[in-house]
Structure 1
């Protein structure tokens, strides 16, 4: 295949689904944080009732996990609302050598080497540029499985972003 072109949009809800998929991939997902908070909140009072002052530490840990999880969601939603590129459909063209994008922010053609790493979840591809640069590509945007697989082959020439626990 010489070039694969896709067009997609990301609503705020889709963006947050992608963010949560990325967080889970990295081992710091919302679900895990909520479970840790619940466990800490359950252990804390039991320790306090049995005369162990360290129960307060568990309760504080639960509050911190809840606060950080809620804050992260609020900040990412706010960031989405400030991003110009998601105000209109995004068109991306992939070739063996380059990734070309057209969005409300403008047009760019970059070699694959501009992206430092990639990540893949069951529903999304993620391309990373530096510490803060991130492109989210929904797999559902590809017309055929062959296009999806060819793009994956090109993408996997990049280093895979490590999962948190590997």
Structure 2
């Protein structure tokens, strides 16, 4: 199953679920006895290997590293701004928590450097900066989903992008 087919199946499953359809009717191999599922694709949502979405080949390993760096920057930005702007804790803590969970899903968040917060900023400026950081992360996750060799990894990235998009609506 190709990455695009897998992503399409996920979207179709969501639409079918909303319409009350059975997921069994979405299996493209159910009506065609000549088609068999690919042995390289896991139906559990993880890649063959150690059970993590990032356990496929070397190209994906580099991609996971790049994505982890982007997640780490967004995590650090949210975390630093919670410390510097405690009045925004309720707004920003979910971003910090989400990025920590996504980092754990893919491996370990690397250390990032650079200034990601500033004392004395008003709340609107902080929200705008967090919004830009989150938008960049979301775009990076979408792009990564499009180029990942592993279907399960592409689905993981797409799911993460969706989670970031949903949380961005709170800004």
Fold-level similarity (TM above 0.5):
no
Q: TM-score, normalised by structure 2?
A: 0.29
Report which of the two has the higher share of helix: 2
Which protein shows a greater Rg? 1
Report which of the two has the higher share of strand: 1
